[in-house]
Amino acid sequence: MKKIGILTSGGDAPGMNAHIRAVVRAALAKGLEVVGIVGGYSGMIEGDFIKLGRKETANIIGRGGTILKTSRSKEFMMAGGRAAAAERIREAGIDGIIACGGNGTFKGAHAFWVEHHIPIVGTPGTIDNDLYGTHYTIGYDTAINTAAEAIDRIRDTADSHGRVFIVEVMGRHAGFIAMDVGIACGAEYVAIPETVTNLDILYQRILKQGKTRRTIIIVGEGDEYGGAAKIATKLKEEYEIEAKYTILGHIQRGGSPTVRDRVLASHLGVAAVDALINGKTDVMVGRQSHDIAYTPLEESWTRQKPIWSYLIDLAEILA
């Protein structure tokens, strides 16, 4: 292992820059060269590579987004795209790759390894926190803090007007963001894909608020009811309740990473370089408690990461 490549892929996540910086510093310390693959797997297919050193990665630890840019490459989902990428990687003399992203990124990385035998490890970079094999993903902590700040603001106006508010948060098919911010913001109801949403109970919670009517409902975008707008419509049609709704959207993906995200991103960056040096491939380099954990890439998306049940209980008790 003399030269390694790093790319960021899928939805960007705060902390990806801190991760890139850590990979570069760790690799340089071990005498390796580092190549940045620009634009995720699309950049790999096009051979869009840049040399990364201390200078190129200085002053980025606190920046959101990713200096390497990202994409959701359709071409890389096909064997032809992956073959083209393998050719570019071999031409550039890259011996191993670190792919930071989520489910889609790891599916691509696994297929790439199986077909081309170029060592590749994944690092969990997604605000969704939905990857099996790591307690937290890079970007999750920042996203929940951003969402919580926004919901606190909504609560102020909801409280002043005595309104019912439904706030939709990201997370794709997972309810981690919704559950954590629901508890942190004192929501009256949290609707997540992992549990059955019951509008009768939700209605009772609104009534329980009495005269003030101020109610905060958090819904994960993957919930079976289909999001905040649909719940608002149902509340109106079936219970004659007027509810305002807000979709927080991509605001959750931006901004300066929190300390926790910076530290996690740095830890996983150093560990990913070590993993490649030690001959690991086709694994996700994650963290369980305080320890680095390696999970076969395929497991990271085929096994469902469960929402910790104590959180579900907490949200119920405290509602």
Closer of 49 and 140 to ligand F6P (Cβ): 140
Q: How far is the CB of 319 from ligand F6P (least distance, A)?
A: 24
Chain positions 200 to 239 lying near ligand F6P, rule: CB under 6 A, are: 221
Region near ligand F6P per CB under 6 A, out of 59-67, 120-128, 238-246, 280-288: 120-128
Closer of 57 and 126 to ligand F6P (Cβ): 126
**Residue 146 exposed, middle or buried by CB count within 10 Å (0-12, 13-18, 19+):** buried
Measure the CA–CA gap between 189 and 218, rounded to whole angstroms. Answer: 6
> Per the structure block, which two tokens stand in for 6?
């790093």
Q: How far is the CB of 128 from ligand F6P (least distance, A)?
A: 5
Closer of 11 and 269 to ligand F6P (Cβ): 11
Q: How far is the CB of 172 from ligand F6P (least distance, A)?
A: 4
Chain positions 45 to 84 lying near ligand F6P, rule: CB under 6 A, are: none
The β-bridge relationship of strands 283-288 and 291-296 is antiparallel
Measure the CA–CA gap between 29 and 279, rounded to whole angstroms. Answer: 18
Measure the CA–CA gap between 146 and 307, rounded to whole angstroms. Answer: 20
**Residue 304 exposed, middle or buried by CB count within 10 Å (0-12, 13-18, 19+):** exposed
Chain positions 25 to 44 lying near ligand F6P, rule: CB under 6 A, are: none
Task: Look at residues 63, 81, 74, 87 and name the one whose alpha carbon lies nearest to residue 10.
Answer: 74
Q: How far is the CB of 222 from ligand F6P (least distance, A)?
A: 8
Q: How far is the CB of 312 from ligand F6P (least distance, A)?
A: 20
Closer of 96 and 125 to ligand F6P (Cβ): 125
Count of residues in contact with ligand F6P, rule CB under 6 A: 10
Q: How far is the CB of 253 from ligand F6P (least distance, A)?
A: 5
Sheet containing 164-169: give its strands across. Answer: 189-191, 215-220, 164-169, 243-247
Contact characters 90-109, ligand F6P, x per CB under 6 A: ------------x-------
Q: Is 128 an annotated catalytic residue?
A: yes
Chain positions 236 to 265 lying near ligand F6P, rule: CB under 6 A, are: 253
Closer of 168 and 188 to ligand F6P (Cβ): 168
Closer of 119 and 175 to ligand F6P (Cβ): 175
Q: Which of 5, 11, 64, 108 binds ligand F6P (CB under 6 A)?
A: 11
Q: What's the angle, vertex CA 98, arms to CA 96 and CA 104, rounded to 5?
A: 120
Q: Please, are residues 48 and 94 in contact by the beta-carbon 8 Å criterion?
A: no
Q: Please, are residues 97 and 113 in contact by the beta-carbon 8 Å criterion?
A: no
Chain positions 122 to 181 lying near ligand F6P, rule: CB under 6 A, are: 126-128, 170-172
Give me the catalytic one of 12, 48, 95, 128.
Answer: 128
Residues with active-site annotation: 128
Binding site for ligand F6P (CB under 6 A): 11, 102, 126-128, 170-172, 221, 253
